[in-house]
Amino acid sequence: MPSLLSPTSLDLIGNTRLVRLAGPSARTGCEIYGKCEYENPGGSVKDRAALFMIETAEREGRLKPGGTVVEGTAGNTGIGIATVANAKGYKTIIVMPNNQSPEKMATLRALGAELVLVPPTKFADPEHFVHRSRRIAEETPNAVWTDQFDNIANRAAHIEGTAAEIWHALRNRIDGFTCAAGTGGTIAGVGMGLKARSRDVTIALTDPHGAALYSYFTAGELTSEGSSVAEGIGQGRITGNLEDAPIDCAFRVSDKDALTVIRQLNAEEGLCLGLSSGINVAGAEQLARKLGPGSTVVTILCDSGFRYLSTVWNPAWLREKGLMS
Ligand code: PMP
């Protein structure tokens, strides 16, 4: 049995379990596993990137005792940064679009982060959360901007952590990996880490509607159609983390299909997850079908559904969004 003693709270980040998803496996005739990233102390896959980006800034001498960490985020990276920053004695300023889940905002406030809410705008707008967070870091004494979209310490967390853990658990049994991209750190890092061990592992990008990566990886151009209510994913550009990502193929999943998947996972296996996990598992089912019966596919269970009780797990909210059938 692995040690159940953790020397510090930061050692709780990573080494998450892989769970065999019975329903998706049965429906495809394959072995589909989800990596339980909601087990991280901040409750999402983004704790890993937060730890790596903060420790890289420390090593480079940019982050000093008593300093402040500033980031623009859909929420989970901010929660990861506040978690790590609290454990290390730094302050946190988080810039977040005001249409993200109230649960994530409340969690950030509970962690003591200073929260700056901005309207959801396009990346080209100077008021976009990414640009606003960079300016706040520039104007705040002794502050660093972790720059999760273009800082490749983000994907390094997944090369050194997530991919190594998946390989350690399954070794040559793994045939494919897929997940959606926000910054792209997870898909690029896991893809690079797995390909370094076996060229035969297929790496697939699964996009929500409204994102431009599906068209990029299938037709070579960044175009998008439709929209999605999934938080934390849906990218319109090739971020620094996505550069040179070893993507073999791509799928696109609608919110309606992702909602069906998270309801099945909840009813059939008692897993209550956020919508990006539904996009990922739906993508894993598509990849499993493409690779054929008996193949083994891994995806990411990014965060818990408890983070979205007032949104995707709230029938009234779904009805308002036209997503209740
Ligand atoms: N799912 C959720 C819920 C997230 O918050 C994020 C991070 N933005 C992702 C998926 C995507 O992760 P990444 O930034 O590594 O692409």
Span 175-216, pLDDT tens digits: 999 999 999 999 999 999 999 999 999 999 999 999 999 999
Supply the pLDDT for residue 184: 98
Q: Is the pLDDT of residue 1 over 90?
A: no
252: pLDDT confidence band, cut at 50, 70 and 90? very high
Q: Is the pLDDT of residue 2 over 80?
A: no
- The strand order across the sheet containing 31-36 reads 18-20, 31-36, 296-301, 176-179, 202-208, 249-253
158 Cβ contact partners less than 8 Å away, ≥ 6 residues apart: 48, 49, 185, 186, 188, 189, 190, 193
Which amino acid is residue 301, in one-letter code? L
Q: Which atom of ligand 1 is nearest to the CA of 277?
A: 1
Q: Is the CB of 303 under 6 A from ligand 1?
A: yes
Distances (CA, A) of 3 to 43, 57, 179, 217: 21, 30, 29, 41
In angstroms and rounded to an integer, the radius of gyration of the C-alpha atoms of the chain is 19
Q: Name the residue of 35, 46, 159, 241 whose CB sits within 8 Å of the most ligand 1 atoms, as the mutation to test its pocket.
A: 46
Supply the pLDDT for residue 226: 97
Distances (CA, A) of 36 to 272, 276, 315: 11, 13, 25
Q: Token pair of 64, please? A: 């000093």
**Per the residue annotation, which of 35, 46, 91, 104 is the catalytic one?**
46
Residue of 324 and 64 predicted with greater confidence? 64
Distance 299 CA to ligand 1 centre (A): 13
Q: Is the pLDDT of residue 257 over 90?
A: yes
Q: Which atom of ligand 1 is nearest to the CA of 275?
A: 3
Evaluate whether 40 touches 14 at the Cβ level (below 8 Å): yes
Distance 1 CA to ligand 1 centre (A): 30
Supply the pLDDT for residue 310: 98
Distance 82 CA to ligand 1 centre (A): 16
Q: Is the pLDDT of residue 325 over 80?
A: no
Mean pLDDT over 231-242 rounds to 98
pLDDT tens digits for range 138-176: 999 999 999 999 999 999 999 999 999 999 999 999 999
Q: Which atom of ligand 1 is nearest to the CA of 307?
A: 3
Supply the pLDDT for residue 26: 98
Distance of CA 17 to the CA centre of its chain: 16
Which amino acid is residue 325, in one-letter code? S
Measuring from atom 7 of ligand 1, which residue has the nearest CA? 232
Q: Which atom of ligand 1 is nearest to the CA of 75?
A: 5
Supply the pLDDT for residue 3: 86
Q: Is the CB of 34 under 6 A from ligand 1?
A: no
Distance 182 CA to ligand 1 centre (A): 5
Q: Is the CB of 76 under 6 A from ligand 1?
A: yes
Supply the pLDDT for residue 33: 99
DSSP 99-157: TS-HHHHHHHHHTT-EEEEE----TTSTTSHHHHHHHHHHHSTTEEE--TTT-THHHHH
ipTM above 0.90, yes or no: yes
The span from the CA of 16 to the CA of 161, in Å, is 10
Mean pLDDT over 66-85 rounds to 98
pLDDT tens digits for range 5-14: 999 999 999 9
Supply the pLDDT for residue 232: 97
Evaluate whether 291 touches 178 at the Cβ level (below 8 Å): no
Whether 256 is catalytic is no
The span from the CA of 283 to the CA of 63, in Å, is 38
Question: Rounded to 5 degrees, what angle do the CA atoms 192, 11, 246 make?
Answer: 5
